Structure 1
C-alpha cells in the first residue's frame, strides 16, 4: 500500500493470553496481524473494551491504544459480532451482559452510516447473512476466512506468523515424545455431529484428551474432557499428542473455512486428520490424512503410531507445514491492505462525485 492509515479496530476478545473461561480463537492470530499492520506503518486504535486489562490485568506493556469514544479514523475494521441471546442483547449492566454488540452498532451508525467512513467487516464466524444491508452499503467491504467466500466478499484467512513457519523443523517435531494418540482443542459449538462421527469412535480406542467448553458431556462417558484450558496450554496439549481431528461446523466446511486449530496443531507436530466433506480439504492436508469415517480415523492413527519418529512421519509433518503457506501472515496482510485500499479509494471517488 502506498500510504499508511489510521485504522479503528473493533474486536471482542484478547490480544494476550486473556482469561481461561471465555471463547476467543482469535488469540492465536489477532496480535500477529495487528503487529504486522503496525510494522507497515499503519496506526491502530482499538474501539471495544480493553478486556486484556479489565479482565486479565494485562496492560500489554502499554503497546496498544484503546478508545471508548469516537476518535477520528481513516477506516473502520470490524471483527463481526452477532446476536447471542441472553448475553449481548440484554440491557447494559445486566448480569452476564457483554456490550460487544451494542458498541458495534454504535460504531457502524456513527462511522459507516453517518460519516461514510470506509469500513471492512471480517466475518470470521459466517454470521453476516447474505441479505444483510451492510453488504450493499457503498464503501463497505466484507472479508471471510474461507477459500470459497460468498459472492462479493474478499478472502482473508486466519494468519500464522511467518517466523513460526520459517522456524518449524519437521524432523525435530517428528521425534518429539508424545503422551496421547489423540487430542482436540475447541468448544462444542455446532460440532456434535462431527464429534460423534469422527472423534468419539477413535477416543474409545486410544488415549486422548479434549480441551474446551463441552456442556452436558454425559452422552460421551468414555471421553476425557478437561474443560476450558488456558490459552498458553493449547500448544502443550498439541505437543503431547500424535494426531487431532479438524472438526468444523457445517457452515465452515461448506465454504472451506479452516480455523486456527490447524496451525496450532501442525506447529506443535500434531498431525491433523481432516474430514473429507470439508470443501477444498486437499489444500489443508495431504490425501493420507483425509478421513471419511470414525473407522478411518482409527486406522490412520494406528498407522501413524507405527511410523512415529520415522522419516515418513517427518515427511507428513513437512507436507502439512507446506500447506500452512496458505495462511502465511505476510500474504494475509497483503490481502487486507488490498481491501483497505479498495474501500478507501471507493470512498474518495464517492466524495468526489458528490
Structure 2
C-alpha cells in the first residue's frame, strides 16, 4: 500500500525549541510500516532538512506541496494553535501544517480515499465532522479511546525490548533522586499534587518549557534541553513522576515519557488517577498523593541495585503493550478495514 503520511515534526533529533514528542517513536513506526511492505511518502514540510540540518532524503521521500497518487492518507492530527497555524500564510511565526492538512483532507478524504487520523494530543473535537466521515478511521494512543476511535499506542522497536537488561540499565551512579522531563502544557494540577511535594524533600530538576512557575519557588526548573540529552537526564536520576493532562489520565493515554524513563533505568512513579495505570506500571510504583510520592522516592534511593532491577524488570514487561509489531498489526487491520469500507 502507498501511504501518504502527514506529520509536523521530525524524524531525527530536531531542534531544541520544539515540543515534538513524536521524535521518540515516529521513525520507529515509519520503519515498521516500510518493513511490512508499505511505501511511504511524507506530505508535510521536511523540517529535518530545513530546520535541523539533517538530510534523510536518501532514506525517505517527501512531496510537501504536491498531491501524489496514494492508496491511504495517514494524518497525525494538527489542530488550531492561535498565533501559529491560524494566521494567514506568510504572516510572521506562521506554520502551514494545518493549512496543508486541510488541503490533503479536501483532496483525498473528501473524495473517499481511506484516511487514518491519529489524534495523538486528543485535540479532534468529539463533534468534528471528520469523525463520522465514511472514509475516516480515528486512532488515539490510549487504552480507552473515545467512542468510535481505535487504540494505537506509541511504538517501541521489538529489538529494543528484546535486548534490554534491567540489571545493566539501573547500574551506574545517579546524581538526582528525582527528575521530570517534559513541558508544562495542562500539567499544573498533576505537578501540584504529586511532583512539587516530593521536590520539596528531594534533590531534583525539571527540564522542559515551564513558563508559569511562581507557585513553586522551591522547584529547580532548568529549561528545555536538546532531544538527544533526554536519555542522559533519565540515566542520571533514580525516579521520575508520570504527569499527564487530565484528558490523558481519563482515557489511559500514556506519553513517551514512560518508556524513555524505563529504557534509561529511571523508575516511573505513577499517579493512581491515571485510568488503567496497572497496565503500564507495577503496583509498587503507584502513588496516590504527594506525601506518598515523597516516601517512594526515598525508598527507591535507599534500595539496592538488585531491588531496583527487579522493579525495573516489572516495568519492562509492561512495555510489551507498546511493541512495534503489535502496533503495525493494529495498523494493518485498520488500514484493511478502512480500505474496504
TM-score between the two structures when normalised by the length of structure 2: 0.98
Q: 1:138 matched to which residue of 2?
A: 134
- 1:183-332 aligned at under 5 Å gives the runs 183-309=179-305, 311-332=306-327
What secondary structure sits across from 1:44 in the alignment?
A: strand
Distance 1:61 1:322 in 2: 36
Q: 1:108 matched to which residue of 2?
A: 105
Which runs of 5 or more structure 2 residues have no equivalent in the other structure?
none
Distance 2:10 2:40 in 1: 15
The alpha-carbon deviation at position 164 of structure 1 amounts to 1.3
The alpha-carbon deviation at position 195 of structure 1 amounts to 0.6
Distance 1:308 1:215 in 2: 37
Q: 1:349 matched to which residue of 2?
A: none
Distance 1:222 1:167 in 2: 39
Q: 2:334 matched to which residue of 1?
A: 339
2:95 is aligned with 1:98: yes
Distance 1:164 1:183 in 2: 23
**Residues paired across the two proteins, number:** 340
Distance 1:46 1:307 in 2: 47
Kindly provide the CA deviation profile for residues 169-197 of structure 1, in whole angstroms up to 9, marking residues without a partner as x: 11112222211000111100000011111
Distance 1:305 1:278 in 2: 24
2:152 is aligned with 1:180: no
The alpha-carbon deviation at position 144 of structure 1 amounts to 0.7
Distance 2:60 2:217 in 1: 45
Distance 1:190 1:215 in 2: 12
2:157 to 151, 154, 161: 161
Which runs of 5 or more structure 1 residues have no equivalent in the other structure?
347-354
Distance 2:177 2:57 in 1: 38
1:22 to 13, 18, 21: 18
The alpha-carbon deviation at position 205 of structure 1 amounts to 1.1
Give the superposed CA RMSD: 0.9
The alpha-carbon deviation at position 219 of structure 1 amounts to 2.2
After the TM superposition, list the runs of 4 or more consecutive aligned residues in structure 1 that deviate by more than 2 angstroms. Answer: 216-219
Q: 2:71 matched to which residue of 1?
A: 74
CA contact 1:239–1:268 (8 Å) conserved in 2: yes
